Chain A
């Protein structure tokens, strides 16, 4: 199984890794049985994701997709960020091995969960 250069780059030096204290939205997905847990934190200013961070317990592609989705979502409006799909993440990473596609799914689910959390908070 070979990973693309982009996957390796994001995996070995992940972007936006860490924790946001007092986030406006937060989403955790995955389970230890499949081996991947992912959490995304967002800070929202004027409907724009001004800051985003992630924590991931998982394989190389889980870490790379988390890193990539934070890049894709940063500085986007809530609406635009909501539209990021698993395919967008996989494409931005120049593809993922088939068996790893669920990782990109996990990343988009984590982002969606964080956005939902934000929406619920401002209701």
Chain B
């Protein structure tokens, strides 16, 4: 990484750890075999893939055959939802009911919205409150006779708030004891696995999605944990790879990298959580104390150690992001303009922000290479940039609302 630049976008992606890269390198040109081949070229690679599978299973506290390697969380989430639906459709004619939170990542949200539009599912959105967290009572109320699946993200990717996954798991387990048709529980744990408990038994999930590139592994590889016995059918046809759950030649190099990333994560998790959380608190305190017209989005405490999301008054997020970029700082925003659409982030609107607050949002996400000095530099640059942009915007917003009255 360019050390002069300040990278505060770890929730978007992380650099590949040097040790991960070292582990992967021989599997490009030397050990290049197709893991599914029976000869030694293939077997050597399959051994390494299985080693990664073992590490993954250890990390999630599950069986090795419950690990399905995919191309990342988007695929894992698609497979979880569509795969469960497909298996259900084989034996049922009634349209099933699916529950998701209002602020799921687009790969869950759009998948479900499309299925609803196609008339394949009945869909309920759980509201999210100002703290960025759902209420269990809403879930209990939302359950129906035909509920097939509940999908709730573990850590929200934009504001970093944590959902009570284990609690949902418990409720559903209890409800399921009285039901003939069990409700399945899926969580998108992409932003959570580096910082929170990943024991699938404790969480009570049937399906869990994660990606390698958020934990210092390579891009283009991830996992869908599928609890043994879960009724799910593959959605991509072809070979019988991954227990016939995911056809396609294994991305062995990526999988091996993911295995190493998981191993490193497990070894250092507790130490890193503490360090990053301290930095996050330092950042939040400093920004709230030293900058005017700012709010922290989502609960202060129930959040990922890595993510802080602020809204700044009288600035627009894309402008802010690009001014920061010109100053060597990389962040992210929920403003419409950054996403190529005209609507601001559905996540920020879901927690009750006004459009202008959502447009003025900035996500700052920390990682294991973040230093206190970087945060000090960041805040000083942020102040300068805000001053400049607020000069350009003057009192327009106030004037606009005064005229409206």
Contact = CB atoms under 8 A, between A and B. Distances in A.
Interface of A: 1, 8, 11-12, 14, 17, 19, 28, 31-39, 55-63, 99-100, 102
Interface string B350-393: 00001110010000000000000000000000000000000111
A112 B341 CA distance: 26
Contact of B315 (A14, A33, A57, A102): A57
Contacts of B356: 32-33, 35, 57
Contact of B396 (A14, A33, A39, A61): A39
Nearest to A103: B337
A108 to B, nearest CB: 18
B277 interface: no
Contact of B393 (A1, A37, A99): A37
Interface size class for chain B? 20 to 34
Do most interface residues of chain B lie in helix, strand or loop, or is the interface mixed? helix
B293 interface: no
Contacts, number: 82
B394 A55 contact: yes
B400 A28 contact: yes
A56 B341 CA distance: 20
A61 B337 CA distance: 9
B393 A32 contact: no
A57 B337 contact: no
B354 A32 contact: yes
A33 B315 CA distance: 13
Contact of A34 (B336, B354, B392, B403): B336
Contact of B318 (A38, A60, A102): A60
Contacts of A62: 316, 319
A89 B359 CA distance: 24
B319 A63 contact: yes
A12 B356 CA distance: 22
Contacts of A37: 393, 396-397, 400
